């Protein structure tokens, strides 16, 4: 059973619907695959606008989503307060609090809610914007909770907000397609120990299912092997390091 929506939540969803109608031409398919009760929605990540297109699709399908989002977003003054009031779930990577997100997500799923995850953990680095290899957090959550994992691909958000830029391009309205597929089959993995190989196999299946949905949208053939930053490198590493240094300098100057 989905949680009760607050007045603030309803207010934000009205704004979301309005914004999306103004800047996008949405096309949705596969909503019949969204099950009643708790499930994990996994999607590809091509733009910082993705969470809005993802939320628009899920909420418009009767599923108020709980997003797993990196903790740094909760530190942004206005955005962070809004995310907390909307009861979204912060992910504290590489800290003692890292497990807290998993506990919160499991509780949400047990309560019948939909939990949304971008398994790549960041915007794709693939030059053609295909999904990369995923992190294992979504797979771990899926194998622990045993709820359906629904692959959802989206395409078009990058036209509204291109990746790695702040150039918002609302007009003319951009076509944004979101397609949900059938649940990822993980049945044979449920009773196996949560070891590295099992988590990697579950993650591979999850990302393959998302990629299949995206290939249908784009009408193209994806690469034989997904982009892997551990193997192929991170072309944005220098940019990200410079941005982090600027933020650190700004924080020091503000003290």
The reported pTM is 0.89
The pLDDT, as a whole number, for residue 78 is: 84
Are residues 37 and 147 in contact, defined by beta-carbon separation less than 8 angstroms? Answer: yes
Instruction: Give the confidence band of 172 by pLDDT, cuts at 50, 70, 90.
Output: very high
Q: Which tokens sit at 209?
A: 């299912």
Q: What is the pLDDT of residues 188-199, one digit of tens each?
A: 999 999 999 999
User: How far is it, in rounded angstroms, from Cα 229 to Cα 162?
Assistant: 20
The pLDDT, as a whole number, for residue 139 is: 97
CA distances, 173 to each of 8, 102, 142, 153, 217 (Å): 27, 37, 36, 20, 18
The pLDDT, as a whole number, for residue 241 is: 63
Phi, psi of 8 (to 5 degrees): -65, -40
The pLDDT, as a whole number, for residue 216 is: 96
Helix (H) / strand (E) containing 137: helix 137-145
3-state SS, residue 190: coil
Domain ranges of the chain: 7-254
Query: Is a pLDDT exceeding 70 seen at residue 3?
Result: no
The pLDDT, as a whole number, for residue 4 is: 64
User: How far is it, in rounded angstroms, from Cα 84 to Cα 101?
Assistant: 13
Q: What is the mean predicted confidence (pLDDT) over 32-37?
A: 96
Partnered with residue 90 across adjacent β-strands are 69
Q: What is the pLDDT of residues 233-255, one digit of tens each?
A: 887 765 666 666 676 676 677 76
3-state SS, residue 209: helix
Q: How many CB atoms lie within 10 A of CB 77?
A: 7
For the CA atoms of 220, 178, 208, 127, what is the dihedral angle to 10 degrees?
A: 50
7-254 homologous superfamily: Glycerol-3-phosphate (1)-acyltransferase (3.40.1130.10)
Query: Is a pLDDT exceeding 70 seen at residue 213?
Result: yes
Entry field: residues in the chain: 255
Query: Is a pLDDT exceeding 80 seen at residue 211?
Result: yes
């Amino acid at each position: 059973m989905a949680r009760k929506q607050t007045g603030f939540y309803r207010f934000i969803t009205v704004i979301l619907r309005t914004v999306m109608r103004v800047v996008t031409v949405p096309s949705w398919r596969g909503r019949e695959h969204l099950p009643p009760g708790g499930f994990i929605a996994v999607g590809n990540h091509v733009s910082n606008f993705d969470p809005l297109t993802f939320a628009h699709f899920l909420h418009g399908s009767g599923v108020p989503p709980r997003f797993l989002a990196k903790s740094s977003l909760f530190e942004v003054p206005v955005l962070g307060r809004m995310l907390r009031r909307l009861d979204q779930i912060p992910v504290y990577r590489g800290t003692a609090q890292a497990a807290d997100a998993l506990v919160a997500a499991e509780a949400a799923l047990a309560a019948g809610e939909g939990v949304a995850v971008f398994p790549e953990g960041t915007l794709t680095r693939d030059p053609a914007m295909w999904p990369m290899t995923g992190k294992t957090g979504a797979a771990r959550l899926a194998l622990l909770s045993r709820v359906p994992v629904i692959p959802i691909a989206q395409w078009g958000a990058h036209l509204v907000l291109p990746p790695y830029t702040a150039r918002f391009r609302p007009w003319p309205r951009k076509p944004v397609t979101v397609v949900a597929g059938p649940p990822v089959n993980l049945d044979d993995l449920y009773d196996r120990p949560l070891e590295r190989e099992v988590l990697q196999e579950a993650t591979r299946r999850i990302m393959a299912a998302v990629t299949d949905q995206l290939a249908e949208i784009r009408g193209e053939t994806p690469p034989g092997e997904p982009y892997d930053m551990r193997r192929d490198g991170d072309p944005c590493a220098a940019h990200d390091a410079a941005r982090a240094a600027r933020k650190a300098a700004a924080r020091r100057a503000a003290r």
